[in-house]
Structure 1
């Protein structure tokens, strides 16, 4: 794999959240790629159940303070950072009082999914991309993990298509064995409106029907340059959809070291 800049956008990273397939890969893949001489940036949401003191998070004042408008409402963007010392790896956190403070991850303490997960996802994705712009860091590849990041591809390819930091980035989306029960709210598509995401793009999203897990993942796939099968088993409809699209597709690899090598080769192929 030739030297590259790789941006990782993920919904969870161990040890900040419990170890899962996504949080494990999001913890160790960036480190492995960095150890091979590549430059990385890694972002996740600052969910309210992440202990800031124990994990030594601190706010990055120079990156914070912007307001993001979603559905005609202003939301303040707060950027925090922490380091995984053993990996020499920094992790950036997207925070906001309305969407993340004093709230759990994607569900509340009773396991109920938040009704505004659509807006939380929009805020997270746009917050990452706005921060990359502020850093003036130009990624070659953007690798997304977890459905909470599924809106990143359409924003990168449409909303930020003219931005010098993002316009040439290749997008890879990893599909996992996950799901959510509550489809996004009716009117979700209008909330996507931003810059060059206009009537045409909004109408395309509306035609897809209710935005459940499968349709959201299809949306991510349609705006990605390549797809990685992150779990041994994924939704059969999605597997068929990826194959039928004839998009570059890396199948599941259970061995971690072999998986890192294959993802590196896959990134080279996508970015060729």
Structure 2
């Protein structure tokens, strides 16, 4: 869906950019990734450490859509995506999520591109709504931007590093606003994402009961699950009548 939704908007004349981590299992040569020097070269502060931000870009074949890859050798060079060979979550997945959120926003700022809608897919991007609404609250480029979070049933067991809440608080975000992250489970990450979004979309048929109940109590517009063959019209209507209205 992180491809098909932008493809649908693009086909209707919208201007689309996709941002994703440059995971180590992505073949740069095959997909013709190349570094964009004018966008790279800055450091992001993660828990009081300077982490270099590298931006790479590629185009989707047969589509006029560019994909921007948020890269950092320490966070994303490893071949596995989220877990080690024993299936354990990487200890720094929390910092990878913070880095991705900041990296996307800083790249969009350098592009000087004000998106109407920022659509978030996947738990690694789940801190993006929080950082946009709080850390970057005074950034004029995003003043009119609306955030939509898709909620899927593709999370993880166990929890991220329990110091996540302290690392976010280091950026001046009040702990009271992220109290859920005292236990940084998949469900609690998504609750924080939903709480800082302008709308949400249910992306799975068998959504986790805890998240389903949370969505029932939220005051933001929520689009129920739509089958693949019917999502295009439903998403377009949701964007225009519920998100941008």
Shared fold (TM-score, shorter chain, > 0.5): yes
Per-residue CA deviations over 1:16-36 (Å, capped at 9, x if unaligned) read: xxxxxxxxx112221111010
SS at match of 2:3: helix
Q: Which residue of 2 aligns with 1:81?
A: 57
Question: For the Cα contact (< 8 Å) 2:21–2:71, is it kept in 1?
Answer: yes
Distance apart, 1:271 and its partner CA: 1.0
Q: Distance in 2 between matches of 1:48 and 1:240?
A: 36
Structure 1 segments, 4+ long, off by >6 Å, are none
**Residues 242 and 202 of structure 1: is their aligned pair in 2 closer, same or farther, counting only changes over 3 Å?**
same
Give the superposed CA RMSD: 1.5
Q: Which residue of 2 aligns with 1:210?
A: 183
Give the number of aligned pairs. Answer: 244
1:70 aligns with 2:39: no
Q: Which residue of 1 aligns with 2:143?
A: 167
Q: Which residue of 2 aligns with 1:143?
A: 119
TM-score by length of 1: 0.86
Structure 2 stretches of 5 or more lacking a match? none
Q: Which residue of 1 aligns with 2:8?
A: 32
Distance apart, 1:161 and its partner CA: 1.1
Q: Distance in 2 between matches of 1:227 and 1:27?
A: 17
Per-residue CA deviations over 1:209-229 (Å, capped at 9, x if unaligned) read: 311011111111111111100
SS at match of 1:43: strand
**Residues 241 and 113 of structure 1: is their aligned pair in 2 closer, same or farther, counting only changes over 3 Å?**
same
Q: Distance in 2 between matches of 1:241 and 1:110?
A: 32
Distance apart, 1:203 and its partner CA: 3.0
Structure 1 stretches of 5 or more lacking a match? 1-24
Question: For the Cα contact (< 8 Å) 1:63–1:131, is it kept in 2?
Answer: yes
TM-score by length of 2: 0.95
Q: 1:251 aligns with which of 198, 216, 224?
A: 224
